[in-house]
A = this chain, B = another copy of it.
Amino acid sequence: MPDHALTPERIIAAAEETLRRFGPAKATVVDVARALGVSHAAVYRHFPSKTALREAVTSAWLSGVRQPLEEVRAGSGRPAAPLLREWLTVLAHQKRDRALRDPELFATYVALVGESSGAVEAHVSELVADLTGIIAAGVEQGVFRVADAGTAARALLNATSPFHNPAYAEAWSRPSFEQDLQDVLDLLLRGLS
């Protein structure tokens, strides 16, 4: 590939592939450049350090997690209670599906995300903001009653984290996953109303 055809998106895609192949401990910028057929200087023109490239990969992955949640919310004049249940269910399913489909790649991303606490905090803040919006809409619709929508949003995310926080990924293949999730959501939704 000629250097001028190189875009950040292509570099990120190649970095993902390299991480998948070599694992997070070993993948280097030189490996990424080699996979793209460009010089490592060309990669450094877009990402000034290995750390910067890894953070871009992490952000891309976290955005990928959030995108289907955005789709759930899109065009939502929908009632808040089923919307909230769907949003939290999609969050859980997505994480579980990624973890079960390719456990090694999932572990790689979890390791990367762990390196960059800023990216995690930003991601969690976005999720809390999304949830706060859904809860506030429910309060307006008269279906939820909470003292503070932001506090309720953080509590919801904490209480459902066994179903979406990678620290729990080992337990996601259990047969009762879906029933356990819906039982927790039943209780939480009753708590909001």
A residues lining the B interface (CB < 8 Å): 151-152, 154-156, 158-162, 165, 167-168, 170, 180, 183-184, 186-192
Contact = CB atoms under 8 A, between A and B. Distances in A.
Contacts of A167: 167-168, 170
Contacts of A160: 159
A179 to B, nearest CB: 9
Copies of this chain assembled into the complex:
2
A162 B158 contact: yes
Given A162-B161, A162-B165, A167-B168, A155 B190 contact: no
B168 A184 contact: no
Contacts of A192: 187, 190
18 contacts: A151-B183, A154-B183, A155-B183, A156-B187, A158-B162, A158-B180, A158-B183, A158-B184, A159-B159, A159-B184, A159-B187, A161-B162, A162-B162, A167-B167, A187-B188, A188-B188, A188-B191, A190-B191
A95 to B, nearest CB: 14
B180 A155 contact: yes
A117 to B, nearest CB: 11
A151 B186 CA distance: 11
A67 to B, nearest CB: 25
A143 to B, nearest CB: 14
Contacts of A186: 155, 191
Given A161-B162, A162-B162, A162-B165, A187 B154 contact: no
A106 B51 CA distance: 33
The 9 closest A-B pairs by CB, nearest first: A191-B191, A159-B159, A187-B191, A190-B191, A155-B183, A167-B167, A155-B184, A155-B187, A159-B184
Contacts of A161: 162, 168
